[in-house]
Amino acid sequence: MDANTFLIQVLNGIQYGLLLFLVASGLTLILGIMGIINLAHGTFYMVGAYLAFSLSQYFGSLWLAMAGGVVIAVAIGLALEWLLISRLYHRDHLYQVLLTYGLILIFEELRSVVFGDDVHGVAVPEALRASIPLTETLSYPVYRLWMSAVCLALAAGMYLLIQKTRLGMTIRAGSANREMVQSLGININLLYRLVFALGVALAAFAGMIAAPVASVFPGMGNQVLIVCFVVVVIGGIGSVKGAMLAAILIGLVDTFGSVLTFRIGGVQLLPELSGMMIYLLMAAVLLARPEGLFGRRG
Amino acid sequence: MSKNQAFDRRAFLKTAAAVAGVASLPNFAFAQGAKIRIGMMLPYTGTYAQLGVAITNGFKLAVAESGGKLGGREIEYFTVDDESDPSKATDNANKLVTRDKVDVLIGTVHSGVEMGIVKVVRESGTLHINPNAGAGAATGALCAPNIFRTSFTNWQPAYPMGKVLADRGIKKVVTLTWKYGAGEEAIEGFKEGFTKAGGTVVKELYLPFPSVEFQPLLTEIASIKPDAVFVFFAGGGGIKLIKDWKAAGLKGKIGLFGSGFLTDGILEALGDEAEGIETTLHYGDGIETPKNKTFRLNYAKTYKLQPDVYAVQGYDAGLLLAAGLKAVKGDMSKKKELYAAMENVKIDSPRGAWTMSKAHNPIQDIYLRKVVGKENKVTGVAHKALSDPARGCKMG
């Protein structure tokens, strides 16, 4: 592989990783701050993609669709938290798994009833349709670069929110000791509601911006969910920093795994086993550091 | 007892004889009047849903053209959505064979699902007509007297492209497909034809089904700079690849060729991204035979859609079953005669006339097509009367 190709593959890996980060960040926030295992996270990603598909047809523009979609996603997040999730804070993780798994099934059926079961495409917006020539044969789609920029901007925004604002401080305190924060007079219930809605909105937004490159199809949420959990496990539960590092790592491993050829003895390991690479990575990290790269010990 | 109620022995004997006579009528008289139970196991959801619908439409059109009856009998349909999921394949096939007790099982699209069906019908002996899934084994190592195919093997449409490219002076090719049965067999077919004609496949690229993250592989292709790229994708995956190929700037720089499924049924969803792509398949647009013209007209009139290769395959499945049942006059218990009739059939298909190979796969012409506008225009015949080698089949 020559230097040029290597760099472009690195770009591919990082771009894929940034998108993974965007989806997984919501999951790690909800898990780390609220202690809720949200299996329906991949479903919210799918909801975002389908919202992008239907609203862009309704509005005629993907931008308006995204704006509308985020509003709808936040509303869904607030409603779900208020109705269902808030009743599970003091319960065992198993109840959360059961409830959120039920949500997956419900949303899949709703999706089937409302949107049908076909595979759909979402058009890339006019303004981002160009490609930048990188080598004499290969060009890079501007849309993917834009996606990466958006992910980075949101990552920065999240960092600022959680580390540098009063609200972020309260959220961090609430995750350490919920009762104490409540006895200090802060409305922890409203806070948790906002965090959950933020998590849902992040997942849905990721689905919306990924829709033009990934297609919109039934079951897309389940594939993404598994990778999200791998990101969260490798990065450490509750750590946004860890999620970023893990996501980039996974993006690179997945990308290079699918194009490198590697054999031991007579056995062709890559690219035949490329589908397994990220799970092997997760196993390796867990063996070396069980709490993840940036997870809290104990 | 009064005389009126006296037991009339003669009347009783007459009635008893009549009842006995009716009861002893041969059973097939009931069966003859009974409807033929046809099981349709196809994907009606997911990435191949469009194909399932097209095949069903084609099949039902053939039945309608035969007067709505096959072999003089009416039809009852039993439908199962197999979701193109191989893990549910045997369960779904058993639903039709064991629960619904179908006489014929028509299906399916996905080769992995087809293997589940083959397993079930080899045990149950149910007549099975495959209107798409190209898994070589179904008419290869696992061929059986009761299994017929009206479509192709994955090897068949890909093999002729090898010689076509070699004849144009193309020496180095990279292949790309999903890592599943159909993809691997198609690439094998192309490789066989291409290397036989003097070319070299420098790299074989795969991605897991149904992932459509092509970016790293397109980058890899650009760095290898082959003379051409041969792919196997279908449905939504094909649309995505063609769009990504153009977005990566490879259109016009490296030739993109494929098994015909790359461009079949998806040209509506594409703009000019697919313009000029050449593929090989056993069907195409612009086959000017009267049969094809009539078929296309009737299909469009009935379903308000344009037919594609999948519709033709479904249609031919209907023609095949009709021919078989006509020969045995609807009596499906006459298995030997039924299978013999279906083996010796000559199908007057919209794709051109074809016959059945000993392994029960079509022996057919493979056309070379080019995307012009929204059509796959036939530009020539890449291989006449090509038969799949049916490696491992012990029949005939």
Residues B189 and B102 in one domain: no
For residue A294, is it within any domain? no
pLDDT at residue B1 in the model = 44
Q: Which of A199, A203, A206, A151 is nearest to A171 (CA)?
A: A199
Over residues A265-272, mean pLDDT: 65
A195-214, pLDDT tens digit by residue? Answer: 899 999 999 999 999 888 87
A 117-146 → B contacts, CB under 8 A: 117-119, 121, 131, 133, 135-141, 143-144
Total tally of structural domains belonging to chain A: 1
Residues B181 and B239 in one domain: yes
pLDDT bin (cut points 50, 70, 90) of residue B120 is very high
Range of the domain at A22: 3-288
Nearest residue, CB atoms, B216 vs list A12, A112, A133: A12
Sign of CA dihedral A184, A189, A193, A199: positive
Residue scoring higher pLDDT (B29 or B193): B193
- Chain B residues whose C-beta sits inside 8 Å of any chain A C-beta: 44-47, 49-50, 179, 205-208, 212-213, 215-220, 222-223, 225, 235-236, 239-240, 243-244, 247-250, 253-254, 269
Residues B165 and B251 in one domain: yes
pLDDT bin (cut points 50, 70, 90) of residue A222 is confident
Instruction: State yes or no: pLDDT of A30 exceeds 60.
Output: yes
B143-153, pLDDT tens digit by residue? Answer: 999 999 999 99
Residues B211 and B147 in one domain: no
Range of the domain at B225: 155-281
pLDDT bin (cut points 50, 70, 90) of residue B29 is very low
For residue B210, is it within any domain? yes
Residues B38 and B79 in one domain: yes
* Torsions phi, psi for A287 (to 5 deg): -65, -40
Query: Residue B70 carries which DSSP code?
Result: B
Residue B160: is the preceding peptide bond cis (ω within 30°)?
no
Q: Identify all chain A residues contacting B225, using CB atoms and an 8 Å cutoff.
A: 137
Over residues A282-295, mean pLDDT: 87
pLDDT bin (cut points 50, 70, 90) of residue B21 is low
Q: Identify all chain A residues contacting B218, using CB atoms and an 8 Å cutoff.
A: 138
pLDDT bin (cut points 50, 70, 90) of residue A271 is low
For residue B61, is it within any domain? yes
Q: Which of B222, B273, B267, B265 is nearest to B244 (CA)?
A: B273
pLDDT bin (cut points 50, 70, 90) of residue B227 is very high
Q: What is the CATH number of the domain that holds B268?
A: 3.40.50.2300
pLDDT bin (cut points 50, 70, 90) of residue B24 is low
Residue scoring higher pLDDT (A238 or B210): A238
Residues B145 and B159 in one domain: no
Place of tokens 């990566």: B248
Residues B130 and B42 in one domain: yes
For residue B17, is it within any domain? no
Residues B187 and B275 in one domain: yes
B322-351, pLDDT tens digit by residue? Answer: 999 999 998 888 899 999 999 999 999 999
Instruction: State yes or no: pLDDT of A98 exceeds 90.
Output: yes
* Contact present, B157 and B366 (Cβ < 8 Å): yes
Domain boundary among the residues B281, B311, B327 is at B281
Total tally of structural domains belonging to chain B: 2
Instruction: State yes or no: pLDDT of A298 exceeds 50.
Output: no
For residue B299, is it within any domain? yes
Residues B231 and B307 in one domain: no
Nearest residue, CB atoms, A138 vs list B205, B208, B222: B222
pLDDT at residue B87 in the model = 92
For residue A99, is it within any domain? yes
Residues B107 and B132 in one domain: yes
Over residues A115-120, mean pLDDT: 73
Residues B105 and B199 in one domain: no
Lowest mean pLDDT among A76-80, B21-25, B108-112, B390-394: B21-25
Over residues B111-132, mean pLDDT: 94
For residue A295, is it within any domain? no
pLDDT bin (cut points 50, 70, 90) of residue B22 is low
Instruction: State yes or no: pLDDT of A215 exceeds 90.
Output: no
ipTM above 0.85, yes or no: no
For residue A180, is it within any domain? yes
Instruction: State yes or no: pLDDT of A267 exceeds 70.
Output: no
Residues B125 and B175 in one domain: no
Domain boundary among the residues B254, B281, B308 is at B281
pLDDT at residue B27 in the model = 45
* Torsions phi, psi for B75 (to 5 deg): -120, 140
pLDDT at residue A221 in the model = 85
Percent pLDDT > 90 in chain B is: 63
Over residues B284-306, mean pLDDT: 92
Long-range contacts of B169-172 (CB under 8 A, 24+ apart): B170/B199, B170/B227, B170/B228, B170/B255, B171/B198, B171/B199, B171/B200, B171/B227, B172/B199, B172/B200, B172/B202, B172/B226, B172/B227, B172/B228
Nearest residue, CB atoms, B206 vs list A214, A218, A271: A271
pLDDT at residue B26 in the model = 46
pLDDT at residue A266 in the model = 65
For residue A208, is it within any domain? yes
pLDDT at residue B252 in the model = 86
For residue B248, is it within any domain? yes
